[in-house]
Amino acid sequence: MKQIFVLYSAAILLFSSCGNTRQESTTDNVKTTFQSAREWRPTIDNRADAVMVYGVGGNPSDRSKRISFEDRVRSWQERGYITHFMTGIAWGEYQDYFTGEWDGKPHLDEGQVTAAGDTIWHGYMVPYIVPSMNYLEYIKENHVKRVIDAGIDAIFMEEPEFWARAGYSESFKREWQEYYGFAWRPQHESPENTYLSNKLKYHLYYRALDEVFTFAKEYGRSKGMDVKCYVPTHSLVNYSQWQIVSPEASLASLPCVDGYIAQVWTGTSREPNYYNGKAAERVFETAYLEYGSMESMTAPTGRKMFFLTDPIEDRAKDWEDYRRNYQATFTAQLLYPGIADYEIMPWPERIYEGLYRISPDSDERARIPRDYSAQMQIMVNSLNSMPVSENRLDGAQGIAVLMANSLMFQRFPTHEGYEDPQLSNFYGQALPLLKRGIPVKTAHIENVGYPATLADVKVLLMSYSNMKPLDPQAHSHIADWVRKGGVLLYSGRDDDPFQTVREWWNTDGNSYAAPSDHLFKIMGIPAGAPEGEYSYGEGTVYIMRHDPKEYVLSEGGDRAFVETVGRLYSDCAKAGEMEMKNSFYLERGPYTIAAVMNESVSDKPLVITGTLVDLFDPKLPVYTSVQILPGHQGYFIDIDRVDRDRPQVLAGSSRAEEEHRSRSAYSFTAKSPIDTDGISRVLLPEMPSSVTVNGKEVFDSSGWDAGSGTYLLTYSNSPDGVKIAFQW
């Protein structure tokens, strides 16, 4: 039994390869994209580079199905869009499979089921799925083949999700027997059963994407196509907090996975967490950590990463709530200067055509306010020119929190009274630093074999209170990094009930009471070592015998932790003083991004100077100085960092296309959804003598701002294009 268990637990990391050789990083010509289940319509024509046409049968929440998949694709192509395909891997419009229409057998028993016997549903007749091999054949034959036959060469299979509270269906029991070689065990009966159950859930969606993407690439090659495959997925932070299991970081090393979409938005980032003894929504900070976990998951592997934001969210709120939190998540994504590809929105039909409350205390519902749609379009249009930058976010560099996929394994159910409220063992290591203006990063234990993973890390923060290492080789890599001069701060009492699950550290000749003891032994540190500082080679290990949740669950509980990190950073890592502040500031080309936090070291506003166009203001005002208050963010284009000799649209609520320049003239065509307000701030070499919109003279001297050398023009947007021309 013991040998079988160890063999199968190791198989999760060794399973499959999607082919014989590892694929190099992918490149394509898409910088901005979005997803829609609908055909092209003038109200949703947001002018991104590409559209991910959703579902052969549409979206489960959209029951209209008025037009076929091929016709939906064609409608977008006729408007100049690159067309891709997106669908769910864990749910979708797959009723023909569940009802037996596909193969003559009903398959509703393949839904994810809780201990109470309840199926977890995503929509009508749409259960979350236990992805059997039969189901995967259905996805290949009825969906993947059809979209490739339609000429689609990029497939996005989203949200490989297995709920932690599930694992009781007959289908799951069959997968258990086949995978482990012994009968199913109820996960609620022991920590070991929970761990086994969640590792199997993890494996099933790893296998699912491996199977589907391998088929897609092979079928594409048979038709002379190079099919790219991407995984849109929530962050490891969010899935762990929401008690969902997904393959996450392991997919980044599969050759058949070309990249990801980081599905981060208000709905994920507003999940409360604890800091200084208080549970609250901290949308900016949570979004920053979510995007960071996605960036660090793929950076060592060279895979493409799109960052997503959503101007609204699934939960019914009011328009001002959506706007405020959209700005917070949008700012957070821009603070990663190595990422410059974006999903600018999901479901434009919901954003532009949906009805939501006009204020928190009103039941009146209306479409998106014109000023918000203009602001949103200014923001997303700026992403078309957002550069990758070598600049770094200001603050102490080189501090990272170690993460593992097994963060998802210990979240549900609880055992022996051990609680980790709101993922506090993770946030306890990150928020005390982030709130003090330290741009803390994350690192994935699955990636420590890649030299780039820890190359820039000075101090690594680590705990096994909420995760466990699936592979002993990771410890060899971490120990080698310490030996060469790295500094490791380990926090943990090592007494949670998952320390004793039968795993590699206590089977097959190993007898460690906790996995950390295996790491410590490599570095010559005694098992169960007390709190204190230890040396290994040129590096340092400091052990704090507190679970990280203790740093945030009580007021002031993080003081000793922060002081220790600061001392290790300056004295042991020799990285300089760990500056503490309440803000973040970054320049990316002409763009300036800033955020000021509350609950921080001061309530001082951040002052920014320059010739600044405010991209969060739908009127595009120009300032020479701005103040960002605590709890707020700022986004600007600084004209002082723009080539003033080149006429151009600096910012606008429509996308500028078909640009033409001469010594005395500049023209372009502005395209954006109908029923929205057009506004453009245009940089010109001198005040124009003529401004025309669709051939009509509209020059107004009040539109000229001499200090910035810009002209502000307003008009009504049109997806067919508004022709704008300047002469001077």
List, for residues 269-292, the tens digit of each pLDDT value: 999 999 999 999 999 999 999 999
What is the SS3 assignment for 331? helix
Percent of the chain clearing pLDDT 90 (strictly above): 92
Q: Does residue 317 form part of some domain?
A: no
Could you tell me if 99 and 228 lie in one domain? yes
**What pLDDT score does 208 carry?**
98
Could you tell me if 567 and 615 lie in one domain? no
**What pLDDT score does 250 carry?**
86
The mean predicted confidence, pLDDT, of the chain is 94
Could you tell me if 532 and 636 lie in one domain? no
**What pLDDT score does 356 carry?**
97
Q: Is pLDDT above 90 for 9?
A: no
Could you tell me if 468 and 605 lie in one domain? no
Q: Does residue 358 form part of some domain?
A: no
Domain boundary (214, 248, 282) is at 248
Could you tell me if 151 and 36 lie in one domain? yes
Q: Does residue 431 form part of some domain?
A: yes
How far is 551 from 339, CA to CA, in rounded Å?
31
**What pLDDT score does 11 carry?**
36
Could you tell me if 592 and 553 lie in one domain? no
Sign of the CA dihedral with 596 first, then 600, 601, and 605 last: positive
Could you tell me if 100 and 191 lie in one domain? yes
List, for residues 318-350, the tens digit of each pLDDT value: 999 999 999 999 999 999 999 999 999 999 999
Q: Is pLDDT above 90 for 379?
A: yes
Could you tell me if 658 and 635 lie in one domain? no
Could you tell me if 548 and 437 lie in one domain? yes
Q: pLDDT band for position 63 (50/70/90)?
A: low
Sign of the CA dihedral with 16 first, then 17, 19, and 20 last: negative
Domain boundary (248, 272, 292) is at 248
Q: What CATH number is attached to the domain comprising 656? A: 2.60.40.1180
Q: Is pLDDT above 80 for 14?
A: no
Q: Does residue 682 form part of some domain?
A: yes
**How large is the average pLDDT for residues 116-140?**
96
Beta-bridged to residue 112, according to DSSP, are: none
Q: pLDDT band for position 66 (50/70/90)?
A: confident
Domain boundary (196, 222, 248) is at 248
Q: Is pLDDT above 50 for 8?
A: no
Q: What is the DSSP letter of 146?
A: H
List, for residues 576-608, the tens digit of each pLDDT value: 999 999 999 999 999 999 999 999 999 999 999
Q: pLDDT band for position 124 (50/70/90)?
A: confident
Q: Does residue 547 form part of some domain?
A: yes
Q: Is pLDDT above 70 for 700?
A: yes
Q: pLDDT band for position 4 (50/70/90)?
A: very low
Query: What is the phi/psi pair of residue 70, to 5°?
Result: -60, -40
Q: Does residue 283 form part of some domain?
A: no
List, for residues 493-528, the tens digit of each pLDDT value: 999 999 999 999 999 999 999 999 999 999 999 999
Could you tell me if 438 and 480 lie in one domain? yes
| E strand map for 583-664 | 583-588, 591-596, 606-614, 622-628, 632-638, 648-652, 655-661
Q: Does residue 627 form part of some domain?
A: yes
**Out of 63-72, 109-118, 143-152, 543-552, which region has the weakest mean confidence (pLDDT)?**
63-72
How far is 44 from 140, CA to CA, in rounded Å?
30
What is the SS3 assignment for 651? strand
How far is 542 from 535, CA to CA, in rounded Å?
9
Domains: count for the chain: 4
Q: Does residue 324 form part of some domain?
A: no
Residue-range definition of the domain harbouring residue 50:
1-8+30-248
**What pLDDT score does 27 carry?**
46
How far is 551 from 562, CA to CA, in rounded Å?
9
**How large is the average pLDDT for residues 635-660?**
97
Could you tell me if 688 and 606 lie in one domain? no
**What pLDDT score does 60 carry?**
74
**What pLDDT score does 19 carry?**
38
Could you tell me if 625 and 689 lie in one domain? no
**How large is the average pLDDT for residues 658-673?**
98
